[in-house]
A and B are shown apart, each in its own frame.
Chain A
Amino acid sequence: MSEIADKVKKIVVEHLGVEESKVTPEASFIDDLGADSLDTVELVMAFEEAFNVEIPEDAAEKIATVKDAIDYIEKQKAA
């Protein structure tokens, strides 16, 4: 697993207070990890801060799963 994926996972565990084993790539923040809309906003802001990237509103809306977040950040970092 990439460094970015590790860090994303850690942030999700921290913010949502869920068990690490539940944070699989396919896990949906809202459906599987119990997040509400405010949690997802807070997560996106935490990602922005941790990775020093900007995630615009329309991109943030498409980040539904752990993998979505990892992919988006990896793409930004590669660019």
Chain B
Amino acid sequence: MFRLDGKVALVTGASGGIGSAIAATLHAQGATVVLSGTREAVLQQQAAALGSERVYYVAANLSEPEEANSLIAKAEEKAGAPVDILINNAGLTRDTLALRMKDEDWDQVINVDLSSPFRLCRSALKGMLRRRAGRIVNIASVVGATGNAGQANYSAAKAGMVGMTKSLAQEAGSRGVTVNVVAPGFIVTAMTDVLPEAQKEKLQSQIPLGRLGKPEDIAAAVLYLCSDEAGWVTGSTLHVNGGMAMI
């Protein structure tokens, strides 16, 4: 089950903790993966770590609309085949309380975390609809559903992603293309490593399953939604958060 042999998957934000775990998991299941991120040197290392077969990378700065709009075509050129699976994982945060949040903090997060995934969905869907097959998984966040002090921009973008996903799922359903969301809770990555120990313990105490998440916990959920076996699941949000928010 859950094999992806012969499929091409594009993973954005592949140089981050969650993105690289997703890429590794899809690759292990037989997919050809195209890694995308801003740092070419990191992508190169990661591609090498996955081996010499079925791995490509394209550096792209998704805050630029033209780069987002052309990424699918570039990935297809590298892989020599159409993108069957799109994972919109790239994202950034500019956290601060709303009173101190600048317009550019707001705009940048909305642009990279919401507008750019839309642009990628739009260009990927064009081919997927024609081929009558395809999988899109958008990586949101638990805060898109619960909100979080200091993340008005980020939680708005992630909630927006859920609404966008549901609309796209309705538009693409008649062609067998599914569009879903995976919403991670607190995952151990470089982003959470910097938190003070006391805060990590407090976080942990709010999680029924008693630990922070691993990138692989998210990758497994993504793999399921990419598989043929998930062919009757669309427009849904799979929450992977250790039970921290049961929604």
Contacts and interface: CB of A to CB of B under 8 A. Distances in A.
Interface of A: 36, 38, 42, 45
Contacts of B175: 38
A45 B127 CA distance: 12
B174 A42 contact: no
A38 B130 contact: no
By DSSP majority rule, is chain A's interface helix, strand, loop, or mixed?
helix
Interface in B69-96: none
Q: How large is the interface on B (under 10, 10 to 19, 20 to 34, 35 or more residues)?
A: under 10
A45 B174 CA distance: 18
A45 B122 CA distance: 13
Given A38-B175, A42-B130, A45-B126, 5 more contacts: A36-B174, A38-B129, A38-B171, A38-B174, A42-B129
Interface string B128-156: 01100000000000000000000000000
8 contacts: A36-B174, A38-B129, A38-B171, A38-B174, A38-B175, A42-B129, A42-B130, A45-B126
A38 B130 CA distance: 10
Nearest to A36: B174
Nearest to B130: A42
Contacts of B129: 38, 42
Nearest to B172: A38
Interface string B94-135: 000000000000000000000000000000001001100000
Nearest to A15: B130
B215 to A, nearest CB: 35
Contacts of B130: 42
Contacts of B174: 36, 38
Max chain B C-beta neighbours (<10 A), residue from A36, A38, A42, A45: A38
A36 B174 CA distance: 9
A44 to B, nearest CB: 13
B175 to A, nearest CB: 7
Nearest to B126: A45
A36 B132 CA distance: 14
A42 B174 CA distance: 14
A4 B51 CA distance: 50
B151 to A, nearest CB: 35
B177 to A, nearest CB: 10
A38 B169 CA distance: 13
Contacts of A38: 129, 171, 174-175
A51 to B, nearest CB: 18
A38 B174 CA distance: 9
Contacts of B126: 45
Contacts of A45: 126
Contacts of B171: 38
A46 to B, nearest CB: 10
A39 to B, nearest CB: 9
